[in-house]
Structures are given as structure tokens and as C-alpha cells.
Amino acid sequence: MRVSQLFTKTSKTVPSDEVAKNAQLLIRAGFIHKEMAGVYAYLPLGLRVLENIKKIVREEMNAIGGQEVMMTTLQPKDIWEKTDRWDDAKVDNWFKTKLTNGTELGVGLTHEEPVVDALSAYINSYKDLPIFTYQIQNKFRNELRAKSGLLRGREFVMKDMYSFARSQEEHDEMYERAAVAYHKVYRRLGLGDFTYRVKADGGIFTERFSDEFQTLSSVGEDTLFHVPDTDEYFNEEVAPAQAPAVTPVPDESLAEFEEVEAAGVIGVAVLAELLGIPFEKTTKTMLYTSDTGETIAAVVRGGYDINEIKLRKIVGARKLVLADEATVKRVTGAEVGYAGILNLAADVRVIVDESCANRTNFEMGANRTNFHATNVNWGRDLPLPEEFYDIKVARKGDVHPESGKTYELHRAVEVGNIFPLESKYTDALGVYYTNEEGKQESIIMGCYGIGVSRLMGVIAEHFSDDKGLVWPENIAPAKVYLVRIGGEVATKHADELYDELMGKGIEVMYDDRDERPGTKFADSELIGIPHRVTVSDRLIEADSYEYTPRMSGVSEVLTHDQLLGKLN
């Protein structure tokens, strides 16, 4: 590619509303064009990177038997109603549109339902399974905010794969095969050393974890909890957590139970100060109503939040909502804001987090409007719970219960996920297979996503410096940036080198413009091509070339043969 022919140019400015580093760099270097927040067009250099990423993803999915398809963006309502994922109240980020006759259509945000529907024509017997099928396609999500450039798009490129297995064992084998393929993808993209498989929520239909692939990044939206010296990583939402012990007070004796008036005091920090007690002696009690109609009191130590994912699994509910005012009043006898588990209505199920054990003289809502109880003690003021649970959102300083090790925390961005779906979608859409005994059986499904355009953003964000982008060789829009400096002799040699390298299948961006050397060097750095070669009259006189890898920026003067050795 001759730079003089490329219609994009580098720029010092970016849209004023663009705050994400990845988008700023990619716009300045001419890789993408911002159409609106979260919606980017790919210009020639950007499209090359995107296609290079797709190629790697495609090869690895094919290698494990993935069959590529292309589902449709326009989606009919009926198949989504069967799985209860049509209603905006259930799935809140659909884009919807309409046929001229008024028929509502969805704009594809994921494709479990249509894939199951399409495959239903081909699955009858056990002989038709297992199947791995995938697509690489634009997806649409009606995100409220989209300020992270390519990291969170309203329109984005995604690889989504689906597996269909005859048994849990077969599913597990396919699932692990996909995980291995994912690691290969990240390794080939240059992200292998800081991308981890992370346990995450498996959703409401399974006890199992799903797995995320998370790349360490200071701009990541996720927090990883790493068990030191192991391969075990948890997403914050599911990290099992043991609170550090409460600082012991030597020879503390049980003080007298009291009710203290503290009208309108919001938050444990203020309350602790008001009561003159350590923060960790406060208690937070939240009341929930489950989808089965049960009222639940969830209790954690001050400073923690309730983890509704953990709580839901413990109480066996599919959905939890905060109890309404009337329920709070009925079960506590008080207005909202003063709940504890003292004198609760008998039908409330109480779940106490382990962070609340081993405390003396602690605080708790008094179940009396405007009052908090202090110097509460298990066994005296309240029966000691038969069991303590883990229902808190893990935080810094928490311990991984199984190993006893204190977690290390990392910011990260999700670059893929794999998800066991059991037979939720296949059953809902009525797709089964007949086993060897002629019996109808459920099909075990998995889904496997990789955010292709997000990866481009992650890589741009990660592999960059103050001069610009630094593309890994596998996905760079070209391998070599050839700078021509000088007159006829340099031009002749640069032209020849361009033809020679292109002839060898080495992609070259040939800066054949009549620009100052400084401009060409700066552009090559902003655009981030891995290898720069400079041909100048002066160098050619000495029969040599200047070679500068983008990563180190350290130039060497090489002979023609030495240069080709570097580039092959």
C-alpha cells in the first residue's frame, strides 16, 4: 500500500467528546471514524486490523470443528418469546424496529434462539450431534452509555459460537476444548501473558460458573480476584470471600443492650461515628422478596454489600427484589431504614454472612423507627445462627476461603466468555434428539463469545505509548513501514525494496509522499507498524538501510541481506 494513495491521514485532533484512549489513538491514526457514541466505522487501516483478528479467531474455531454460519440481524419476535427474552422488561438492551405492516422485529443482539431454531431442521438423532457452529458478525446493543471507544459498543463485531452436546460429559469436553482454543486466540493476538480464565456467574439456570477471559487493563470495568500463586481467578460478582477478622478488643466483656435514637442516619460510616464504635461493628440488613414469595433478611457486616448472585443461589431463588415498604413495615414493625433481625416476623428467612460471626457488642437496626440497637451479642440478644453464609460482595483484603490466601485484585476487561446453558434454550424451543434407545433427550448447549472489535480496542489501549499505537505483528495493518527520504536514487531503491517485499508476501506501507522525514517518522509511530525501514540517498550510497522496530525504537543500519533476515 502506498501511503500517497491511502485516503486517510493522521491527525492531532479527535472528537471533543471522545474520552477513551483506544478511540482517541485509533481516530488520530485514521483507523476508525466515530459515527456516534459507541458506533464506529472502520477505515482501510482499521478494517485490516479487524480482519486480521477475525482470521485468527476463525482459524482457531475451525481447528476445534467449528462450522461457520451467518445468522441474520433482523429477528422475528416469536422465537424470542418462547424463551422469554423478547420483552424489553426482560432484556433491556434490544434495538427494535418494524416492518411497514407494523410487525415488530428485533435487531440482533445475540443469537442463541435463531441458532437453535435454524439447527432444529437438522437435529433428530444422536447421530446428528455433537455440533459446534459459530459466526463473526455485527451485534447491536442499546447501551445507555457508550464512552469507552471500541471497548463498549452499541454496534460491535462479535464471534459467537454455540455447542450442542448429547450429554453433560460431552458438553464438558467441548467446553474445555473451546477454552483451549480461546487461550490460543489470545496468545496469537499478543495478549496471552495477561489474559486469564476467570470464574463468573453462570446465570440463574445453573449452579455452574461461567468462564470469562479477562485481559488486565487499567481501564477495565471488571475487578478480578486472584488467588495468589494459583491459576484461580474470580470475577468480583462470584468471588467466594471470607472477611478479615474483626480487630479484637482485649478482654472485651458483653455490654448492656441498648436502643439508640438516630433518626435519618444513612450509611454505616456516619452511624459508626455517631455511636462511637468501629466501623466493622455495624451491621447492614437488607430485606428481599424472592420469586417464590419468600421474604429474606440478608445480613452483612458494615462496609460490605450484599451479593445478590450468591444470596439467590443460597435461597434457591431465580429472582430477588428489594422488599417493598409495606413488607418491611409488616416484618420489622418499623419504617424502612431501621431493619435488623431482632424480633422479626417468624416467616422471614434470615441469612447471615460469615463476616457477622465472631463479633461482640455489635450494632444492628432495632426494627423500631429511628432506632438502632447497640451492644448486640449473639446468644444473648439473638440466637446464634445455625449456619453463617457467604453472601457479600468480595472486596480488597478478603480471603479466598478454600486456600486461606488473601486475594490479589486486578482491573481487567472482558475479552471473551464461555457459558454453560444446559438445556434452557433447546428445551424452550422444543429441540430434542433421539438417543440410541429411541428415547427423546435434552440437548446440552454452550455458548462462546469473543468481542472482536473490543479486542481491537483492548490491543490499541494496551500496546501503545506516547508516540502512538504499537500493533503486534500478527494483526498489524502492515508488517513494514517503508520511509523514502531524498531524490531519485532513494526513490529507485525504495521502489525496488517495496516490490521485493510485497513480492515475498510481506505487507508494506510505503511512505512515498513528498513530506518531511520527521512527518513520515511520526506517522509511522502513530500508526504503529512493527518494522520501519528507511531508504535515503545517504544510506543507499553506503549500500545500507536503517531499520527501526516500533517496539524498542532503537535503529540499526543494516545491509540488504541483514534487513531481509529481520523481516522474514
Binding site for its own copies (CB under 8 A): 5-9, 11, 30, 33, 35-36, 39-44, 47, 50, 65, 67-76, 92-93, 95-101, 105, 107, 114, 118-119, 121-122, 128, 131, 133, 138, 140, 142, 144, 154-155
Question: Smaller CB distance to its own copies: residue 96 or 516?
Answer: 96
Contacts of 454 (CB under 8 A, 6+ apart): 150, 151, 152, 153, 156, 413, 415
Q: What is the DSSP string of 194-248?
A: GEEEEEE---TT-SS-EEEEEEE-TT-SEEEEE-TTSS-EEETTT---BPPPPPP
β-pairing verdict for 408-422 and 444-451: antiparallel
CA-to-CA dists, residue 446 to 118, 167, 299, angstroms: 16, 12, 35
Q: Please report how close the Cβ of residue 312 comes to its own copies at its closest, in angstroms.
A: 26
Q: How far is CA 295 from CA 183, 290, 323, 440, in A?
A: 43, 7, 7, 39
Distance between alpha carbon 220 and the CA centroid of its chain, in Å? Answer: 8
**Nearest approach, Cβ of residue 23 and its own copies (Å):** 14
Q: Is the CB of 137 or the CB of 423 nearer to its own copies?
A: 137
Interatomic CA distance for residues 471 and 274, integer angstroms = 55
What's the rounded Cα separation, in Å, for the pair 416 and 455?
9
Least distance in angstroms from the C-beta of 95 to its own copies: 4
Minimum gap (Å) between residue 15 Cβ and its own copies: 10
- Nearest approach, Cβ of 72 to its own copies (angstroms)? 5
- If the CB atoms of residues 105 and 489 are measured against its own copies, the closer one turns out to be 105
Q: Are 270 and 263 in contact (CB under 8 A)?
A: no
Closer to its own copies by CB, 53 or 227: give it.
53
Rank residues 154 and 310 by Cβ distance to its own copies and give the closer one.
154
Residue 237 and residue 402: Cα distance in Å, rounded? 17
In angstroms, what is the minimal distance from the CB of 44 to its own copies?
Answer: 5
Name the residue nearer to its own copies (CB basis): 40 or 362: 40
Q: Judged by CB, which is closer to its own copies: 296, or 452?
A: 452
DSSP string, 7-31: S----S---TT---HHHHHHHHTTS
Give the Cα separation of 36 and 302 in Å (integer).
42
Nearest to 18 by CA among 39, 46, 37: 37
State in angstroms the smallest separation of the CB of 105 from its own copies.
Answer: 8
Question: Of the two residues 32 and 262, which places its CB atom closer to its own copies in the complex?
Answer: 32
Radius of gyration of the chain (CA): 30
Order of strands, edge to edge, in the sheet holding 545-549? 508-511, 480-485, 531-536, 545-549, 556-558
> Cβ closer to its own copies: 36 or 204?
36
Q: How far is the CB of 157 from its own copies (least distance, A)?
A: 9
Cβ proximity to its own copies: between 47 and 567 the closer is 47
* Cβ 487 vs Cβ 494: under 8 Å: no
Q: Which is nearer to its own copies, 97 or 230 (CB)?
A: 97
Retrieve residue 162's grid coordinates.
454455540
Nearer to its own copies, 77 or 349 (CB): 77
Residue length of the chain: 568
For residues 204 and 312, the answer to whether their CB atoms sit within 8 Å is yes
The CA-based dihedral angle spanning residues 383, 385, 391, 395, taken in that order and rounded to the nearest 10 degrees: 80
Residue 8 corresponds to which cell in the numbers above?
486517510
> Least distance to its own copies from the beta carbon of 74, Å?
5
